[in-house]
Structures are given as C-alpha cells and as structure tokens.
Structure 1
Amino acid sequence: MPSTPIPEAARAHAEDLGAFVTASPSSYHAAAEISRRAQAAGFVPLDEAAAWDVAPGGRYVVVRDGAAIAVVVPPSAGATTPFTILGTHTDSPGFKLKPRPTTGRASWVQAGVEVYGGPLLNSWLDRELELAGRVVTTDGTEHLVRTGPFARIPQLAVHLDRSVNDGLTLDKQRHTQPVLGLGDVADADVLAALAATADDGAGVDPADIGGYDVVVADSQAPRAFGAGEALWASGRLDNLLSTHAALTALLGADPAALTGIGVVAAFDHEEIGSGSRSGAAGPFLADVLERLSGALGATAEDRHRAYAASLCVSSDVGHAVHPNYPERHDPANHPVAGGGPILKINANQRYATDAHGAARWQAACAAAGVPSQEFVSNNTIPCGSTIGPITATRLGIRVVDVGAAILSMHSARELTAVVDPWYLSRAMGAALVG
C-alpha cells in the first residue's frame, strides 16, 4: 500500500514524544520531566519560595505541583519586552485513587477510584494499567510513585451479557474499579505497593504517608504502526503531544532570535476546568510573568504595555475527521490527520482565536514550511474548550487556539499521524521568533 514517506526528523520527534509520554504517567511526572529536560539543556530551576535572580540572556524553569513553566529571556530583553507563550496542559482524562483505596470482593483485590474528567470509559477496559502520581509524607516530603503494569478493569464476558454489543453501559461506580490481584482484601494494601516505588529508590513507610494524588494510567508503550508506519498510537496524547511539542520548540530556540520572552506554560487540571493553584484559571502564570518582568525592572505600566504586545499560543489536541462518522463534523472544514496543525475557531469563544491571532499563526506555519488547516464544530455538536479563553480572560493577552488532529480523543489510547506532532512543534518554533 503506497504512502507518503515520513521525514526522519518527524519520526525522531515522534519517538522522543513517546519517551516523554512514557516518563509522564501523571501530571506530576510530566512537570518533573519538563524540569529535567530543561535543566539538562542548561535552564536554571527557580524556587517559588526563594528570591529569583533573573537576568537578560537567562533560561529558567519553575514547577508548581503538576504544572511547569519554562522561560527563555532574550539577551536584549527589557521592562516592556512582550511574551510569546506556548500554553498547554499536563493532565489527561482517566481515574484517580480514592481515600481508603484498598477494596475488593470474591477473592479479587481492587483499587477504589473515581472518574477524573471525561474519559471514554469503555476504552479503559481490559488494558494493563498502572498507578502513578505523588505521595507526601507527614514531614512534608513529596515523592513521585509509579507501579508499572499493576491493574486492569475487566469487562463482563459476552456470555453473561448477550446484549453488550447492542449498547455498552458502564456504571461509573460499580463497573470501573480495577482489579490488582488475588486474595483477602484484609491482607492487601494499595498504599504499601505505591510506597515501595517511591522515586528515591528506598521507598517510604506507608504509615508515614499523609496524603497522595495518584491516577490510573495506560502502561502500553507508544508506537508507530500502519501502512508506512504513518500512524502513532499512545496514551495521554491529550495533551502531552502539545506539551512535548512546545517544550521541544523552546529548548531548540536561539535566545538571541526570539522576538519576545519565550515561555512554555504547561498547566494541570485542564480536564476538570482549570480551577486550581496549578491550573490555567489559577495565578501560576501571572505570578511567574510578574516576577520575571519585575526582575527586568518593569513597573505595572511597563507590564501592561508588554502584555498588550504579547501572544499566547494555546495548544491542545483537536478532532480529525472520523472516517466512520463524517457527519459529526462541519461539512466544509475537514481537518485530516497528516494535514498539519489545526487552527481552532469558535464563534462563542470556546476557543480564543480571533483574526489577529489567526493571521499570526498562519504566518508562523508558513515560516516553518508546514501545512495548516482550520477546525470549527458542526453547529449541532458543541465543542469543548481549552486554556485559551481562560488565559485571555485572566491576563488580557491575545490568544490563538491551535493543536494537532487526532482520533479517539479521551480514549485510554489515542491516535494521530506521525508527522503532525513534528509539524506542530516547528510552527511553535516559528511563532517564538515571528
């Protein structure tokens, strides 16, 4: 079967995206991986509780819980230098571990979980899943934890539900609790299994765990497949695809070539509305931008001038036209996998794109030499939203909403074209210098 050859740079980008996804089973792991990669490239970590020593020509990274912000300050930056922000999010739909998490029945040990965001529930059935996130001991020390393949949400056999293929209905409480093992529940302890995987290698005493934020994640490795291996399957493409693309663009940027202060802002909690201290509706980005501009000698007046000339490229995955359901899409605007980044447009401002932002993005795609396409919803099917409108509302910065086209959004394992993450990252890189 003939197919268009995939550039080696696109394949290399996809493989690195796979490594990023694999390292990031939770938002806390994603933030840590952003910081690790940034520091390996020479970025200086900033502690929010300490004074910041920020200067023109510097590169910095700061982590707040499951969010991270990386910054490149051009050598020529001053008090009114604008910002070019690449905004994304680190969390994905799925499940989160409940309090008193060890449960079970009929000799099956299970974990008690609640639904996080809006996952496609059926896609999580019959997969090897892992538990991952952070535990905090009573002395305030935070540890990243991940179990590797550890759990499974088993589907009921067709012999016990002959109507299952006529319409599967899952009860979010009764039918989504994963099994972990066999035996008496009284002898099992989910927290002990997590504590043994703490990132310091020594583990922690389960009795010392004072709190935890732990999610369920697909453990299957990302991979290319299909004709010409042009397709890319992975968990958490929403939205680690955009986060990796943005970080790759910023790490590869020449500080002297930037037209503004380059920023990657990867927020947590987008899938549940962004309302948290580390979400886009919280103060994290504003805090960082104010401290940066203050270090460059900016007054409030200077900062307002900088914001007026700034741009935020809000990037989240979007819907490619589904070949089995083409009627669900707008009849005139058909974004396709492999067709380049999508520009998201919505009359009701569910996306923040306006004419000026659209023109800036189209210019960036042209400068990067990548194709581009538009996405708008079918009028009978309301679209979702992004961090874009929230960022525009909070800061007054112009925002353009973009992304990469995928299928199976909010599935445990999503699908895109191998070339599209690379296209998106190249266009982001052009936006930083355009």
Structure 2
Amino acid sequence: MTNTSYPASYYAASANPVPARPALQDDVETDVCVIGAGYTGLSSALFLLENGFKVTVLEAAKVGFGASGRNGGQIVNSYSRDIDVIERSVGPQQAQLLGNMAFEGGRIIRERVAKYQIQCDLKDGGVFAALTTKQMGHLESQKRLWERFGHTQLELLDQRRIREVVACDEYVGGMLDMSGGHIHPLNLALGEAAAVESLGGVIYEQSPAVRIERGASPVVHTPQGKVRAKFIIVAGNAYLGNLVPELAAKSMPCGTQVIATEPLGDELARSLLPQDYCVEDCNYLLDYYRLTGDKRLIFGGGVVYGARDPANIEAIIRPKMLKAFPQLKDVKIDYAWTGNFLLTLSRLPQVGRLGDNIYYSQGCSGHGVTYTHLAGKVLAEALRGQAERFDAFADLPHYPFPGGQLLRTPFAAMGAWYYGLRDRLGF
C-alpha cells in the first residue's frame, strides 16, 4: 500500500514532532467512526470523546494532510456568505440560530489550545482591508450586522489607522477583529489529534475509506480492515473523492495557492505588520497574508477551480505579494504549495444525515478554520440527541451544480471571472 506523506510546505517543514500512527489492518468495533483527520473530524472526535463515546478516526494519508494542514492559518469569523445573506434565504428564526453560532468556532479553537496546551503560534487580531470606498462601506455594514449578534470586538480603521497596522499603501481603510487571529494550522491539527488520543480515541493513518456498507450497523471498509460502528461521521471535505456520490454531486474541490518567504528578521517583519495581525482584503478573489512564528511572510490567494495544481505557484502569488509589499522585491521564496477547499454553489456549508446513522459536514467554501471546529461540536450534539443547532445547518438548501460534475468547473470559473472583473473595476 502506498504511503502518502505531507506535501512540501512550510507547515510540514516546521511541524511539531508526532508519533507514528499505524494503518488499520484489523476489524474493529466502535461507537463512532470518523472519516477524515482534518479539523472537522478531529473536532467531532474530541467533543464525542469528552462526552463518553468510543471513537475511531480513519485518515487516508496523515493527520491534517488536506486543507487543515495547508491553509493560510487565519481565524476568520462567520461564514463564506454572511448572516444577512442567510437571513434573506431562510428567514429570521433560522438565521438567528446560525448567527449566534457564527463566532463560536474561534472560541473553540482558543479553548482547545488552552485546555490541551497545543503549541501552534496562536496570535490574536485579524484585519479586513478595504481597497475601495465601496468595500469600506460594506465593512461598516458588516460591523453593524455582527454587533447585532453580540460580536463586539470590532474596530473600524480609517486610512491613517490601517497604515499603523499594515505597511501597504493600497488600502483606504479596514476593520480589525480582535477575536480573529492566526495559527500554524498543521500544528493545531496535530495538537488536536494528540488530544483525541489522550482521551482514548484511536487514529489510523494511511487508511482510506474505500466503501461504506450502509445499514443498521454501518461498516467502513479500508484496503486492509474495516470498522463497524453505531454512527459514521463523513469529514473528508475536498479530499473525500466519490466515496459518497450524493455529496460529491453538490460540491466542487478548488485549489488555492500559498507561498512563504525566507525569514525576514524582526525589523523588516515588524515594519510590515507592526502588531502581528493577519490580513485579508475584501475582494471576491481575495489575497491574505500574515507572519509566522519565525518571521516569514505567508501570502496566499488565487483559486483554481477543479483543484488542478498550477505548474508555477510562485509565478502566480509573488506578483500579488509585491503589489502589496514592493519592499520585498529581493526576498527569497522558500516554500510554495497548493491545497484544496470544497466549494458549494451557495457558498454555505452542507450539513446533514444519510439514513439514520451517517452524518456529514462539508463545503466550508474558504471559511473552514473556524467553521470546522463549530461543525464538530454541532455534529457531536446531534449524535447525543441535541439536534436544534444541527437542524439549523441541515435545513440550508443544498444545490447541485448546473450540468453536474462535467460542467461545474467551467460554470464556477465563469462566475469567478465575472466577480474578478468587478474587483478590478471597483464595482
């Protein structure tokens, strides 16, 4: 059997030490079988273990192999479509429930880091940067919206104030969210996996789920073993493949590209981001960046629909970095990588149940770091019989892509081209 290792990235190169985890080679029984050892699966497993369930986690490669270990590392609140959009779609009662949960994921991350002493370079503070007065107006509306749901750690930044937090001349203003922040994403996943094991959970790596035998006592088959469970949680997201065809039809893997510079040194790093906040701009096809613990700049952006790996990631992202920070023109890029996230047509998460005992959450649409931690809690609540918050997500409409899997990539790319044009023209 092929041993799948981490892709070459800054995160893999700077990961904390981890134990060897075996592949599943037996038949085992458990209360809950979790498919996928990314944030959704690990968060689910932790909440279930804390509530007395016996949990087995199957991972096709290694803990945090997918988006959980490759993303930009930013703690960004709410969902990919904000609460006002949800409210127009589903009405005020359901929107109130979802709005009340929109800021919970970041709190869960901080609780996990503190409770299990996870070393992941956690820093507070995230900035949304406006490139136009229209985007600034949207941030003003967003602040009022979030404050309606009790989220008050927000500060609007005028042009002078944003210059104090990011050394980029492009921005007309912004909004600082002190409950946002950033982490080393792979080390967060590895720390959560260690927490799972400390509570008696078992994680098998190099153990892809190849078939689910549905029924009263469902069975998950791997190449060399199987797991019989009372419940299954499907948490593969963009790396699930076609294991569950009805889920694959309503989502699309997309690639995003990230680079990491050489270490910049304290003085240069501090001149770029004096308060060490992370930043994302307000474009539809947005750029995002932050400093690492060893003072590199992580810079990401761009979307490849259908999740193909570009031939030259640095050629795509470096010009974006230099547009924001021309002072880095002579800085070397040490790492460049891509990772996949799962896009839904509505850009809202898809949560639900297949039959009586197979639960799933997928389709974070680029807002996964916080949402996945919330999703784990909501899924665990549902398995314990507390389904109100689960149902609020499950009742969101799940749309198939027009034309099915054949046309979903060109359809989404056309939409991205349109919104990218609007970004460039300032609409």
Instruction: Give the TM-score normalised by the residue count of structure 2.
Output: 0.25
- Which structure: greater helix fraction? 2
Structure possessing the higher radius of gyration over alpha carbons: 1
